[in-house]
Structure 1
Amino acid sequence: MTSIAIRGSGIAASGCAHILTGAGLRVAIEDIRRPSVPTIMLSDPALGLIRGVFDRPDLFADRPRVKRRVVAWGGPPVVVPHGAALASEEEVQAALPVVGQSGAGAGDFTIHTAPPLPLGDMRLFGERHAVAARVRLRDPACGDEARIEAVAGGWLYLVPAQAGAGWLLGVGGTIEALLGQSALIAPVVDAVGAVSTPFLAAPRLHLPLQDADWLACGTVALGFDPICGDGTAQSVREAILAAAVVTAIAEGGDRAALLGHYQSMLIAAMRRHLLLCAQFYANGGKGDWWCAQHEALMEGHRHCTALLARMPEPRFLLDGFRLAPRQAAA
């Protein structure tokens, strides 16, 4: 196996291509794009992962920074330190180096970072959607802080943009309805832009995540609830693991064992995410909407636990961008 086809674009596709090219494999990228996200908050851990993959220690160093979060979640507001850079998805895509050949082509193996996948279905853990709107910030102090607030009908997340503007994410209802219940965010914003069409905000997992000649990577494999702020970092982690699995297969490793390891690691990541989200939704509110979302998350956690119980114990450990047998690594 010497040639790899990558379908898609974004951080997962770019990361896979960069690592695999560095490992000496031929890569062809079929650039498949979806509507871009207006702003991404790149946490310092996510920035560290991206800079490490692309060997760019100064990447996004010139972007506006978020220095703190103000959180009102089932209690009075709390201010906590936070470090993150702000960029649009288009800016992120433009900053990442492009490697490999362009255009669709048959490879010995395919990494899918965009739909459709060859087989399987996506399972949702909840029934919630989000909408986003551009807003004007009334308070200049909001220019370097993020605000998150739980209200009776859902939750709101405000991040700054540029020139006194910001982006407001609403989950569980319309922006207007959620702002009508808000004490933390409503006083500091004025809506000035059109509201986006609703998009999925519930965690989701596609199964299967792999077959003999392909695997899924990035948000097409699994999607996180935006409440965690870890979606970008997760896509980078998936790219590192996917590239390590493909490299090991190309070097003669046990294909079935390596692909099974990849699937179990992603299911385990989703299981951890579901439990983390469940803690937020248990404390955000007491109404029917909050209770239903919490129960869906816990049901998903039980589902992933049952899946992992039927899978072998992990046989490999990541060592940089490579996989090592667990016994040897120990």
Structure 2
Amino acid sequence: MTSLAFQAPAGPTASATVEIAGSGLAELTCAWLLVARGHQVRLRPPEPAAGPRPLLLNQPTLDLLHSLWGRWPLADCHRLTHRQVCWGPGDGAIGRRLPQPATVVDGARLTERLLDRLVTRHPDILSETDGPPRWTVTAAGPSAHWTAGRRHLLAGEAPLTPGTDETTARLVCTELAWLHLTPLGSGRALLQAMIPGPATRPTELLATLLAGSALAPALRHAPRSAVALPAGPRLHRTPAVPGRILVGAGAIRYDPLSGTGTAQALRTAILAAASIHAMADGAPQEPLCTHYTTRLRRAFHAHLATCAQLYPQAFASPSWQHEIDACRWRDPLLQGDDGDR
């Protein structure tokens, strides 16, 4: 997807009434952009956070976040300077250590801070709307998705071995999975492993994968508990229809390997806000909803094409063939479409 700079005029000729049904990063960003353009935006009361959620933001994503919300110091974050990558048999057991600045933040704390910033600047955003909203923006929608594969991500935290470099994230492959180690600061790390299907015993499997990888010496022991989450790239079939726009992971989800999922969530918020603003100025709804959907479809298939190139380089086992084939699927509506990607 190309850059989605929010370049609408200074204010709409008519104000749209918008309900933001959720308090995730994409939903809050869309609210922030819309209220700044003079729209009547109302936020449903946020639900309590489910707990800490480590989030790795590369520098371009962090720059995008700051360009939207303004630059402010991130509290309780951990800075990384490098990423060490061992992808496929040609990289050997150590791989390449590359300069790649990034910041690890608690995603739940980040959205709390953005919510505070939004409510402090626009306290009426939590008030009742005057009548039903014209638009609802949310990351939670009907489960009408295309999903490219059955792969799952295993994740758990564990202590680092004393002396382990806490400024370098590490990616390695085994025959069955890729594993990513993200230092969190204070001697702890997040271990993630992508496998080509579901797992009934994620904690045991993650420990087995760690033991067979080059990451084992970096941790004092395997995570004591782990979760398994569906992680195949996913696209909602109709992310925008008159009256409702899906943003964030509810609209489009990338493979975690890309490291650009947060940036893509922010881009959906930018495009959704620009679409609503244009419709408030009198642009017809149907073409703009179609444009929104098409832009996400193009981005999704560009992402699948990248996955289809990368995974065969690392995995030759039959268990991964389904995932590779799934990434080669093409939306028939985009066949022969040479639009921006």
TM-score, with length taken from structure 2: 0.83
Deviations 1:35-94 (A, max 9, x none): 456210111111111111112x23428732111111111122111110111111122112
Quote the RMSD (CA, aligned, Å). Answer: 2.2
- Identity across matched positions, percent: 28
The answer to whether the Cα contact below 8 Å between 1:264 and 1:311 also exists between their aligned partners in 2 is no
1:43 matched to 2:49: no
Give the corresponding residue for 1:12.
26
1:135 matched to 2:158: yes
SS at match of 1:111: strand
Deviation at 1:101, TM superposition (A): 2.2
Q: Distance in 1 between matches of 2:338 and 2:86?
A: 42
Amino acid at match of 1:20: L
Amino acid at match of 1:111: V
Deviation at 1:254, TM superposition (A): 2.1
Higher relative contact order (CA 8 A, sep 6+): 2
Q: Select the residue among 137, 140, 158 that pairs with 2:181.
A: 158
Give the corresponding residue for 2:7.
none
1:281 matched to 2:299: no
* Aligned residue runs from structure 1 range 1-330, under 5 A: 2-30=16-44, 31-32=46-47, 35=50, 38-55=53-70, 57-60=71-74, 63-74=77-88, 75-76=91-92, 77-96=95-114, 97-99=117-119, 101-102=125-126, 106-113=132-139, 115-117=140-142, 121-172=144-195, 174-183=205-214, 185-191=215-221, 193-299=223-329, 302-303=330-331, 306-309=332-335
Aligned length: 305
Amino acid at match of 2:206: I
Sort the Cα spacing of 1:276 and 1:19 in 2 relative to 1 into closer, same or farther, 3 A.
Answer: same
The answer to whether the Cα contact below 8 Å between 2:77 and 2:106 also exists between their aligned partners in 1 is no
Deviation at 1:10, TM superposition (A): 1.5
Q: Distance in 2 between matches of 1:281 and 1:104?
A: 49
Q: Distance in 2 between matches of 1:205 and 1:279?
A: 19
Amino acid at match of 1:241: L
Q: Distance in 2 between matches of 1:94 and 1:140?
A: 33
Deviations 1:122-147 (A, max 9, x none): 22100111121111111534311100
Which structure: greater strand fraction? Answer: 1
Q: Distance in 1 between matches of 2:237 and 2:128?
A: 24
Q: Which sections of structure 1, spanning at least 5 residues, go unmatched?
A: 315-330
TM-score, with length taken from structure 1: 0.86
The answer to whether the Cα contact below 8 Å between 1:210 and 1:216 also exists between their aligned partners in 2 is yes
Tell which deviates more after alignment, 93-102 or 5-14. Answer: 93-102
Q: Distance in 1 between matches of 2:219 and 2:81?
A: 19
SS at match of 2:104: strand
Deviation at 1:95, TM superposition (A): 2.2
Sort the Cα spacing of 1:192 and 1:102 in 2 relative to 1 into closer, same or farther, 3 A.
Answer: farther
Sort the Cα spacing of 1:86 and 1:237 in 2 relative to 1 into closer, same or farther, 3 A.
Answer: same
SS at match of 1:194: coil
SS at match of 1:68: strand
The answer to whether the Cα contact below 8 Å between 1:281 and 1:291 also exists between their aligned partners in 2 is no
Amino acid at match of 2:83: R
SS at match of 2:270: helix
Q: Distance in 1 between matches of 2:179 and 2:99?
A: 19
